[in-house]
Amino acid sequence: MNINKYEDIINLPRYISKKHPQMPIEERAAQFAPFAALVGYEDAVEETARITEKRIELNEEEKNILDIKIQMLSEQINVQIHPNITIIYFIPDLKKEGGKYIKVSGVIKKIDEFKQLIILDDKTEIPIKDIINIMGESLQVNI
C-alpha cells in the first residue's frame, strides 16, 4: 500500500510554458485577494451607525417668542434695515428618522411669508418651521 499517493510526481520539475510568459509575483498574488461577496454591506453598516438628532418640539412660549422675533425682523426689513442674525434650525435627514441642527449667521435679506422662508444675503433659505432660535442684537424680547 502506497502511503503517499503523490510520491511519484512530488519531485518533478515545475512546468514552464514556452508560449506564455510567467506571470509576475505581484499579479499572481492578486488572484488570492479578498472577494467582496456582499457589495454595499459596508455602506449599509456605516449608514446604520450614523447618528441623527431628534427634532426638538418647541413649547407655546418658545413658539411665541420666535413669532415675535420674526415679526421684529419683518418690521426692520420693511424700513430697509437688514440685521445680522444667527439662526439655529433643523435639517431633516433624507435617509433615516431625525436629522441635525445647523447654526448659520448672516445678513437677513428677506422673509418670504408665502413660502415660509427666511432668506439670507448669501441666498441661504431657511424654512421657518424648522427654526428653533434666532439671535441678534436687535432681537431682545422681554416676556
Rounded distance between C-alpha atoms, residue 108 and residue 131, angstroms: 14
- Structural domain span for residue 96: 60-135
Percent of the chain with pLDDT over 90: 43
Residue 50 lies in a domain: no
Position with higher pLDDT, 119 vs 33: 119
Position with higher pLDDT, 103 vs 36: 103
- pTM beyond 0.85: no
Question: Secondary structure of the chain in the HEC alphabet?
Answer: CCCCCCCCCCCCCCCCCCCCCCCCHHHHHHCCCCCCCCCCHHHHHHHHHCCCECCCCCCHHHHHHHHHHHHHHHHHHHCCCCCEEEEEEEEECCCCCCEEEEEEEEEEEEEECCCCEEEECCCCEEEHHHEEEEECCCCCCCC
pLDDT in tens, 49-89: 788 889 999 999 999 999 999 999 999 888 888 889 999 99
Residue 18 lies in a domain: no
Residue 96 lies in a domain: yes
Q: Is residue 143 pLDDT above 70, yes or no?
A: no
Residue 120 lies in a domain: yes
Q: Quick one: average pLDDT of 3-11?
A: 80
With cut-offs at 50, 70 and 90, classify the pLDDT of residue 94. confident
Residue 23 lies in a domain: no
pLDDT in tens, 28-51: 777 676 666 677 888 888 877 788
Which amino acid would we find at residue 16?
Answer: I
Residue 43 lies in a domain: no
Rounded distance between C-alpha atoms, residue 72 and residue 139, angstroms: 7
Q: Is residue 105 pLDDT above 70, yes or no?
A: yes
Q: Quick one: average pLDDT of 12-22?
A: 86
Position with higher pLDDT, 143 vs 48: 48
Rounded distance between C-alpha atoms, residue 69 and residue 65, angstroms: 6
Count up the domains in the chain and report the number. Answer: 1
